[in-house]
Structure 1
Amino acid sequence: MTADNTPARLTATGAPRAGGAGRLGERVVSRIGYGAMQLRRNTGRDEAIALLRRVVELGVDHVDTAQFYGDGHVNGLIRDAFRPEDGVVVVSKVGGDPNPGGTVPVRPAQRPEQLRASVEDNLKSLGLDQIPVVNLRRMDIGPGLRAEGDQVVDLDDQLAVMTALRDEGKIGAIGLSSVTLDVLRRAVPAGIVCVQNAYSLVSRDDEEMLRLCAEERIAWVPFFPLGGALPGVPKVTDDPAVTAAARSLGCTPAQAGLAWLLYHAPNVLLIPGTANVAHLEANVAAGAITLDDTAMAALDAGRSPVRRR
């Protein structure tokens, strides 16, 4: 597995970093992180807190969240579960607002004043003075919501408020989510540290963007790393090439798909999400899987076409 050459193998708690050490801007984090979105469906607070404490124990110190995950509920769990000495790098996102009671639990919030308000809401619910990284969740591409009407906002206007918030110390660094290659190229001068797009072993439309990120030392943080989260998005675990390779490796198809991502590019950071401790442990264990050239070739065969939505 290729990763940044750094001696920082351990987290602040002394645990080996899950999946090894990677770079998120100027920060060193575990290459296997944790996406907290599914905790919005977890009604048991004690259970959720216990899972987040297990995240730390497993050597995960990169956690992804958003104010619109359960209208601040998930951020509150993160605030109560993590301690400063855990050294967890919390990454949030703006560009959508909670939509309680709506068919979709998030609504577009792309205007500059909405981005600023969302950062303030995240700071309050997370109990932080500064959010280490905040992703600007554009709505240029799918899957999911698309911006319409007054929610179609020029990138420069959005980056202006994001850089202002960074200059004010309210956010540490800026990332992007759900963007096109052209948008990324325009944004690079602003100092982008990560990109989150839908991407997996079987959905690889963004190879050119991934290469640009590697050249610019920008972390590639795929959401839906196993696909299948929405209709029309193929599942890694359903692909015959992946299931056959997993049998040979002695792991699950999901673990094979996650391991492939780590090996595919050195700037990949993973944030698989779950509300189940056993699944969390299985995801972290994917970081210990060794893939040789034969295994990579077998997994590379598991490619399915995907259409932009």
Structure 2
Amino acid sequence: MRNSTRTLRIGGGPEVHRLGFGAMQLPIEQGPDRERSLAVARRAVELGVTLIDTAHMYGWGANEELLAEALHPYPDGLLITTKVGVARSADTGEWGFDARPAALRDQVDAALRRLRVERIELLQLHRIDPETPLAEQLGTLGELQSEGKVGHLGLSEVTVDELDAARAVIDVGSVQNRYNLLDREHEPVLAACESAGIAFLPWRPVAHGDAGENAEVAAVAAELGATSTQVSLAWLLAHSPVMLPIPGTARLAHLEENIAAAGITLTEAQYDRLNGIGGQA
């Protein structure tokens, strides 16, 4: 049977369950949809989720405020990670990369207020800003860590070379790249994370609409009495011990379906069949 550990440590620090929750899809507007968002966030924690992913970019801070409204005071062991380094122009309303030291500091201070915490246990750089020297971006994050505002640092959408360059400046606790059963472009980055013991948080952990249409995924799902989405998540958990998927949803039923994937065990044969999709070995 293809088994996997149920928890991992971020940067040698907080221990979290290996199936998290991505909050990006939660509606933030006032009204019935927001009430459902609050219920989904609370239910995620009830179901055992111990890592919730958000970002400054998600509603320009409104997603962070939503999570605080739903969950503060936070239960012991819950880690809410946020991301900084993307900003919206006050003049045009357009978004773009902005990891200048002052911008990073402003976004971190705003996140601390919105999340109602004194320290962000895991802060990730949403994107490397090509217009700002990498040493300045990472140096600022390291300073925030030294000041006690941040516990552990992570990166998002990086290459192996960028990860190596960053690790020369800071301790990297996590990497958040796009990755799923049908999209393994960042397999080399995953391998580098596994070698270094860095948590890998795949965003878009289930291919939109495609996984359920794949005959092999559907066949394994039928064998297990599971859904194609659950099989795709179970494959991720079996694929690497540093994998920490963060599937997101705004629906309670879908949330419960996703979390149940942690209880699915693939046989070696099933894992190999899934692993061979798309010519991957």
* Residue equivalent to 2:238: 263
- Please, which of 61, 85, 98 is the counterpart of residue 109 of structure 1? 98
* Residue equivalent to 1:162: 141
* Residue equivalent to 2:274: 299
* Residue equivalent to 1:53: 42
How many Å apart are 1:91 and its aligned residue? 0.4
How many Å apart are 1:110 and its aligned residue? 2.4
Which residues in structure 2 correspond to 1:117-156 (within 5 Å)? 117-139=106-128, 152-156=131-135
Residues 275 and 103 (structure 1), Cα distance of their counterparts in 2 relative to 1, 3 Å cut: farther
Residues 274 and 99 (structure 1), Cα distance of their counterparts in 2 relative to 1, 3 Å cut: farther
The amino acid that maps onto 1:112 is P
1:95 aligns with 2:81: no
How many Å apart are 1:281 and its aligned residue? 0.3
Distance in 1 (alpha carbons) for counterparts of 2:186 and 2:58 = 26
SS at match of 1:85: coil
The amino acid that maps onto 1:174 is L
Residues 164 and 103 (structure 1), Cα distance of their counterparts in 2 relative to 1, 3 Å cut: closer
Q: Where does the alignment leave 5 or more consecutive residues of structure 1 unmatched?
A: 4-19, 140-146, 229-233
The amino acid that maps onto 2:140 is V
The amino acid that maps onto 2:83 is K
The amino acid that maps onto 2:78 is V
Cα pair 1:91 1:131 within 8 Å, conserved: yes
Cα distance per residue 1:142-188 (max 9 Å; x no partner): xxxxx6xxx52222111100000000111111000011110001112
The amino acid that maps onto 1:24 is I
SS at match of 2:9: strand
The amino acid that maps onto 2:58 is Y
Distance in 2 (alpha carbons) for counterparts of 1:240 and 1:169 = 50
How many Å apart are 1:23 and its aligned residue? 1.7
The amino acid that maps onto 2:159 is T
Q: Where does the alignment leave 5 or more consecutive residues of structure 2 unmatched?
A: none
* Residue equivalent to 1:36: 23
RMSD: 2.2
How many Å apart are 1:100 and its aligned residue? 8.8
Q: Give the paired residue count.
A: 273
Residues 69 and 291 (structure 1), Cα distance of their counterparts in 2 relative to 1, 3 Å cut: same
* Residue equivalent to 1:21: 7
The amino acid that maps onto 1:242 is V
Residues 251 and 103 (structure 1), Cα distance of their counterparts in 2 relative to 1, 3 Å cut: farther
Distance in 2 (alpha carbons) for counterparts of 1:87 and 1:100 = 37
Worse-matched range after superposition: 65-74 or 263-272: 65-74
Residues 103 and 235 (structure 1), Cα distance of their counterparts in 2 relative to 1, 3 Å cut: farther
Identity rate, percent: 37
* Residue equivalent to 1:224: 204
1:281 aligns with 2:256: yes
